[in-house]
């Protein structure tokens, strides 16, 4: 609790800066939520978007019982989550993207500001945003490289925070198994000049696996200043502090014996500090023309303490983004025409420091990396008749990568070693385009088709092979600039249908075929060394289906199904399946709502078998399929008008033992064989939370 109040104090002393590209409407005022701002970077109806879109509303958040954003995303059709191997963090993917080489293909943005890091060993920090501070989350499945550029290869998750409405305070307190505990709050207040919001929170757990405790604190201040009826200045600053012990790798025998054991040194840990800030200007020039100018800054510092290998590693990354955008809404001959475009710029800087002296932390090996990206883009949306929509767009990105590595001299394994300095640079270029069609023969029906090309630049540490393993006595101390590494490129053809009939039936189905060339894979050479290479082409064929039924007032059924067939199409692994991709994933939940405020029901998740990570040849035993049951109950006393709710969530009711991350290291590190990473949410757990609004 002491840390919680320190967070509130720190939040108050930050200066304000940043906001989203398009303000969120006031849901509590009764405005419809049948729109999105993610697909075309401007507000439009869900029925006009040529793609599968999911919107998580404030009611969805309140009723979910989730303690963080990733728990919310688990129930979204098409989204796949996996725990990162760096100890803290969750990787998110879509459309059969494997955690082996799919990292970073889904763009994560908060109010239009990118969260995706520019280095592969630095994961998205989901805790930088407080759940109580979220107005809505929009998920766009499918490539969006034209709209957003890098990282939007297979989807976009846009988190939109509260910015309008009546004064309100939200408080949530929860606790549960493995000493899980959480406290969070959010206070929003309108003013004569605009509005402001302040929020903060803390979350911690001892972990399912022994010696894997971690905790996170976050805070944010946000304000909107209305200059006049047409202009507004929006700003915010937020921070997050995370610290945790690293989970160990287990052999199959150790996993089968006791998955909660930690056989590694319990002193190994990772800490993550992050600041998000920015400033945005919005100008409604007239009824048909608007201009946005957001500027954002992201500072992140990650520290790993590896006692087992006697070194400490720091990764400091900074990102500055400027994204001016112009939108014109026209009506030539009574038809709807929207033109939008802008120029996205990104400046990213990385300073990686490694010391072989764990105690003194002296004589650092310093590597400086940088990236400058410039990407002009344009989109056209045209509705010649009321039930027909056409859209097209183009984008051209140029990225400049540079590595400036200092000379280093020291002693490793008792031997004097000198590493020469490196000063290298490389330019990447990407041109992408898309076209789509949407047909709305009925108000509740949407049919669409879309074709587009996508791309992704390498991470900074993919381009320059700067690994902490270079400090290990068994490794040679060299620095390699990976000039042969190419950017990822590909294309997607997709189509689908969306039905939303009076809230009784909601059905979405998407079918896609995707090809990616030069997909970047990261392979280990030892317990700490790795290298990045371009893979042979990979093709994925799949579908994502979501169904929500409310046949009567007191019954609600949700079912989601995803199928992906991911195969190598050329090279030595032609015809082999991509590892760590389950062909079938099915989730379902049933909620029974009573008249006196109690809702309860079971949920289940099934995941089919898949090949072990890094087993491109498909020669090793597969990871077993899993069936995980859960239970949820929510009580909202009617006399509190929905402002008070108590939630009970039970995960893995049958205490099923399963492995979501298994890697075959034999081809790259014969002494390791197969290793298991224990899912921190694997065991049976019970969580109780209380939410109160006033």
In the block, residue with structure tokens 């090996």 = 365
Q: Check whether 31 has a pLDDT greater than 60.
A: no
pLDDT of residue 116: 85
**What is the percent of the chain with per-residue pLDDT over 70, rounded to a whole number?**
86
In the block, residue with structure tokens 């709807």 = 336
Phi, psi of 161, deg, nearest 5? -90, 165
Per-residue confidence band for 360, with pLDDT thresholds at 50, 70 and 90: low
- Contact in structure between 434 and 146 (CB atoms under 8 Å): yes
Query: Residues 137, 142, 143, 147: what is their CA dihedral angle, to the nearest 10 degrees?
Result: -40
Per-residue confidence band for 375, with pLDDT thresholds at 50, 70 and 90: very high
Q: How far is CA 333 from the centre of its chain?
A: 42
Per-residue confidence band for 14, with pLDDT thresholds at 50, 70 and 90: very low
Q: How far is CA 635 from the centre of its chain?
A: 30
pLDDT of residue 17: 31
Spatial separation of the C-alpha atoms in residues 488 and 454, rounded to whole Å: 8
What is the CATH code for 2-220+229-236+257-293+308-409+418-693?
2.40.170.20
pLDDT of residue 18: 31
Q: Check whether 357 has a pLDDT greater than 70.
A: no
pLDDT digits (tens, 9 = 90+) for 498-510: 998 887 899 999 9
Q: CA nearest 341: which of 388, 384, 392?
A: 392
Phi, psi of 619, deg, nearest 5? -100, -15
- Please indicate, yes or no, whether the overall pTM of this predicted structure exceeds 0.85: yes
pLDDT digits (tens, 9 = 90+) for 419-474: 777 888 899 999 999 999 999 999 889 999 999 999 999 888 777 654 433 333 33
pLDDT of residue 475: 40
Q: Check whether 20 has a pLDDT greater than 60.
A: no
**What is the percent of the chain with per-residue pLDDT over 90, rounded to a whole number?**
41
Distances (CA, A) of 2 to 81, 201, 542, 600, 624: 32, 12, 49, 35, 43
Who has greater pLDDT, 380 or 659? Answer: 380
Q: What DSSP letter does each residue of 654-688 carry, written as one string? A: T-----SEEEE-TTT-TTT-EEEE--TT-S-EEEE
* Residue 257 DSSP label: H
Q: Of the ranges 30-44, 266-280, 594-608, which is most confident?
A: 594-608
- Contact in structure between 180 and 205 (CB atoms under 8 Å): yes
Burial 242-259 (b: 16+ CB within 10 A, else e): bbbbbbbbbeeebbeeeb
pLDDT digits (tens, 9 = 90+) for 618-654: 999 999 999 999 999 999 898 888 789 999 999 999 9
- Contact in structure between 589 and 75 (CB atoms under 8 Å): yes
User: Among the listed ranges 58-67, 129-138, 458-467, which one has the minimum average pLDDT value?
Assistant: 458-467
Spatial separation of the C-alpha atoms in residues 680 and 685, rounded to whole Å: 11
- Contact in structure between 369 and 350 (CB atoms under 8 Å): yes
- Contact in structure between 198 and 11 (CB atoms under 8 Å): yes
Helices (H), 31-131: 58-64, 69-73
Q: Check whether 297 has a pLDDT greater than 90.
A: yes
Q: Check whether 362 has a pLDDT greater than 80.
A: no
């Amino acid at each position: 609790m002491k840390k919680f109040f320190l967070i509130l104090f720190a939040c108050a002393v930050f200066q304000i800066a940043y906001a989203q590209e398009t303000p969120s409407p006031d849901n509590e005022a009764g405005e419809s939520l049948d729109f999105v701002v993610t697909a075309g970077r401007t507000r439009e109806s869900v029925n006009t978007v040529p793609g599968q879109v999911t919107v998580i509303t404030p009611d969805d958040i309140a009723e979910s019982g989730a303690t963080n954003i990733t728990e919310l995303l688990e129930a979204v059709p098409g989204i796949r989550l996996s725990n990162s191997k760096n100890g803290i963090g969750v990787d998110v993917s879509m459309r059969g993207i494997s955690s082996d080489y799919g990292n970073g293909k889904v763009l994560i943005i908060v109010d239009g500001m990118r969260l995706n890091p520019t280095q592969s060993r630095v994961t998205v920090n989901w805790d930088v945003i407080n759940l109580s501070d979220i107005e809505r989350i929009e998920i766009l499945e499918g490539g969006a490289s034209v709209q957003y550029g890098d990282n939007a290869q297979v989807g976009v998750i846009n988190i939109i925070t509260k910015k309008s409405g009546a004064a309100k305070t939200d408080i949530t307190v929860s606790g549960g198994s493995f000493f899980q505990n959480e406290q969070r709050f959010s206070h929003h207040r309108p003013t004569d000049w605009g509005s402001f919001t302040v929020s903060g929170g803390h979350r911690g757990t001892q972990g399912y696996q022994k010696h894997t405790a971690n905790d996170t604190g976050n805070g944010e201040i946000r304000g909107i200043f209305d200059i006049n009826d047409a202009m507004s200045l929006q700003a915010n600053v937020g921070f997050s502090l995370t610290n945790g012990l690293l989970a160990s790798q287990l052999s199959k025998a150790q996993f089968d014996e006791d998955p909660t054991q930690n056989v590694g040194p319990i002193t190994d840990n990772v800490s993550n500090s992050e600041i998000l800030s920015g400033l945005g200007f919005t100008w409604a020039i007239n009824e048909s023309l608007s201009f946005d100018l957001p500027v954002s800054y992201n500072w992140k510092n990650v520290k790993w303490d590896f006692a087992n290998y006697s070194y400490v590693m720091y990764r400091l990354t900074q990102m500055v983004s400027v994204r001016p955008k112009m939108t014109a809404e026209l009506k030539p001959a009574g038809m709807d025409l929207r033109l939008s475009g802008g120029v996205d710029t990104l400046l990213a800087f990385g300073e990686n420091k490694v010391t072989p002296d764990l105690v003194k932390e002296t004589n650092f090996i310093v590597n400086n990396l940088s990236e400058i990206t410039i990407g002009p883009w344009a989109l056209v949306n045209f509705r010649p008749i009321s039930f027909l929509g056409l859209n097209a767009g183009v984008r051209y990105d140029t990225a400049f990568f540079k590595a400036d590595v200092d000379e280093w001299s020291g002693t490793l394994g008792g031997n004097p070693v000198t590493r020469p300095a490196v000063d290298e640079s490389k330019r990447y270029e990407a041109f992408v385009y898309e076209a789509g069609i949407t047909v709305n023969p009925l108000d509740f029906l949407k049919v669409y088709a879309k074709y587009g090309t996508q791309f992704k630049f390498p991470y900074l540490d993919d381009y320059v092979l700067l690994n902490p393993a270079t400090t290990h006595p068994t490794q040679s101390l060299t620095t390699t600039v990976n000039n042969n590494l190419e950017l990822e490129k590909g294309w997607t053809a997709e189509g689908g249908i969306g039905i939303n009939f009076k809230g009784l039936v909601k059905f979405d189905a998407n079918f896609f075929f995707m090809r990616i060339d030069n997909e970047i894979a990261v392979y280990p050479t030892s317990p700490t060394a790795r290298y990045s290479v371009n893979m042979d082409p990979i093709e994925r064929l799949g579908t994502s289906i979501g169904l929500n039924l409310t046949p009567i007032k007191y019954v609600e059924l949700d079912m989601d199904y995803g199928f992906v067939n991911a195969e190598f199409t050329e090279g030595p692994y032609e015809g082999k399946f991509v590892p760590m991709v389950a062909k079938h994933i099915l989730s379902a939940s049933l909620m029974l709502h009573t008249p006196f405020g109690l809702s309860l029901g079971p949920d289940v998740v099934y995941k089919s078998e898949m090949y072990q990570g890094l087993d491109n040849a498909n020669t090793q035993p597969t990871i077993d399929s899993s069936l995980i049951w859960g239970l949820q109950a929510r009580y909202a006393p009617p006399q509190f008008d929905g402002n008070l709710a108590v939630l009970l969530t039970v995960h893995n009711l049958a205490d099923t033992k399963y492995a979501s991350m298994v890697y075959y290291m034999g081809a790259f590190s014969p002494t390791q064989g197969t290793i298991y990473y224990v899912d921190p949410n694997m065991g049976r757990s019970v969580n109780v939370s209380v939410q109160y609004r006033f």
